[in-house]
Structure 1
Amino acid sequence: MAINLQKGQRINLTKENGTTLSQACVGINWGAIEKKSFFGGVSKEAVDLDGSCILYDTNKTATEIIYFGNLKSKNGSVKHSGDDLTGDVNGDDGLDNEVITIDFANLDPAVEHVALVLNSYKGQDFGTIPFASIRIYEGTATNVREVFAKYDIANDKSFSGHVAMVMGVFYKKNGEWKFNAIGDPTADKKLEQTIQTVQQKYL
């Protein structure tokens, strides 16, 4: 599993010792925007990025959305750490501002796709944020064991001018979970639109 996936790569979640990854997290870390004033001072503008997880069934219908307004799935198999409204105001502290945890063993059996998306709530362009990175890893919110996909959206020019992206999709094939590292910016402005984009383009 020691791989840093590039956009578009797919992997199965079987580890080198033959066991299957049972739990994964997506962690999002970002900073507040620095604004220099006319007189040379610096102020900070809060940045509200929102990580969300959408569960889709065999018909590619969204059955549940886990986001800042709904912090866990009905059966508790997907959990969101809570809404961060500001980003790191005092520079990068190295910690994730929002974490979504997925327990594959306890997902509803009808779920076939688990999509991870990111939206800028106030419409702040990804290209204006001083640092913003996403990592998808094996482990828990407090124990990062192995990172297998990472995106640096603040320094990747393809994200500039966008306020939404699809991070990746876990999908079930022949009873096994696999992962598609997507990392695509989208033209969406709101989460509702991104849910539709995933359904139309990425499942």
Structure 2
Amino acid sequence: MPSTASLPLLSESLSALGLTADMLFFSLNYEFTKTEPKGMMKRFKKNQSAIDIDIACVLYDDNCTINDIVWFKQLRDKAESVCHQGDSLNGKDRGEQALYDAPVDQEQIRLYLDKIPAHITHIGLLASSYYGQPLGKVKAGEVHLSDDEGNRAFEVNLKQVPRDCSAIWIASLRREIDDWHLTLQNLPLSENGLQKAAQQVAHELARALPISSPQIVRT
């Protein structure tokens, strides 16, 4: 698996990457990894003594304003164009077919590109550790993006994300006239809570927007 340190810069249209289907899968797989609770963590239930990684898709308009968030607490957006297929609490609770390296992804978000509302121009793909443990503490894990024909745009090895990173902006999709443009970001986020992390991504997206030149009015 490629590491985030060695991955080449990826910024390309989906069609150029060979992803021509109308449905994408943003997917997560990781190996069950126990942790030793400390302090207040000792009061939590047994599921909370294992790393719990989640993925999310955040939908932004052309002003980089958050329009919708799809994650395990909200399984679809208003238009039902982005749909979460269900939460895994620890990497092994969704059955034998959904273990690491098994045929079925433990968590998956489906993006129906032809149904995404026209006012949505950016989509952020995020991964985070629900209890704040570093993502790299998992025994093994990856997130990837593919189409419904099995073509992969990328895969990111969670073992090799930056040290102490508990939330990361994996990639973004930007609407073009007749396609979507994919950029692999791999940007650690200082905020672990999803709403604040999504707002941090909004800030970064806004910074990257081109600045329009002022109009010169001749009299």
Instruction: Determine helix, strand or coil for the equivalent of 2:183.
Output: strand
| Alpha-carbon distance change, 183 to 7 in structure 1, aligned in 2, over 3 angstroms | farther
Q: Which position in structure 2 is the counterpart of 1:121? A: 130
Give TM-score scaled by structure 1 length. Answer: 0.82
The residue correspondences of 1:139-154 to structure 2 (distance < 5 A) are 139=148, 145-154=150-159
What 5-or-longer segments of structure 1 have no aligned partner?
Answer: 37-43
Identity of aligned residues (%): 22
Q: Using the alignment, how far apart are the partners of 1:169 and 1:184 within structure 2?
A: 11
Greater shift, 161-170 or 184-193, is seen at 184-193
Contact 2:34 2:50 in 1 (8 A): no
Report if the CA contact (8 A) 2:35-2:50 is conserved.
Answer: no
Contact 1:53 1:66 in 2 (8 A): yes
Structure 1 residues 157-181: Cα deviation after superposition (integer angstroms, max 9, x where no partner) = x422011001111101234311111
The structure having more radius of gyration, on CA atoms, is 2
Q: Does the CA contact (< 8 Å) of 1:166 and 1:183 recur in 2?
A: yes
Q: Which has the higher strand share?
A: 1
Partner of 1:40: none
| Residue 177 in structure 1 maps to residue 180 in structure 2 | yes
SS state at 2:80 partner = coil
Deviation, 1:25, is 0.9
> Do the aligned partners of 2:24 and 2:110 also contact (CA within 8 Å) in 1?
yes
Question: Which protein has the bigger helix share?
Answer: 2
Gaps of 5+ in 2: 1-5, 37-46, 207-219
CA–CA separation in structure 2 for the residues paired with 1:48 and 1:34:
10
Match of 2:151, SS?
strand
- Aligned-residue offset at 1:15: 5.4
Assess, with a 3 A threshold, how the Cα gap between structure 1 residues 7 and 81 changes in structure 2: closer, same or farther.
farther
TM-score of the aligned structures, taking structure 2 as reference length: 0.76
Partner deviation per Cα, 1:3-44 (whole Å, 9 max, x = no partner):
xx9354111122588x944211111001222469xxxxxxx9
What secondary structure does 1:148 align onto?
Answer: strand
Query: Is the deviation greater in 124-133 or in 105-114?
Result: 124-133
RMSD of aligned Cα (Å): 2.6
User: For residue 155 of structure 2, what is the amino acid of its counterpart?
Assistant: K
- Cα distance change of structure 1 residues 46 and 16 upon mapping to structure 2, 3 Å threshold: closer
Q: Give how far 1:84 is off.
A: 0.9
Q: Please tell me whether residue 137 in structure 1 is matched to residue 146 in structure 2.
A: yes
Equivalent AA in structure 2 for residue 134 of structure 1: V
Looking at structure 1, the residues matched to 189 and 67 of structure 2 have their Cα atoms a distance apart, in angstroms, of: 22
Match of 2:66 among 53, 62, 66: 62
2:77 pairs with 1:76: no
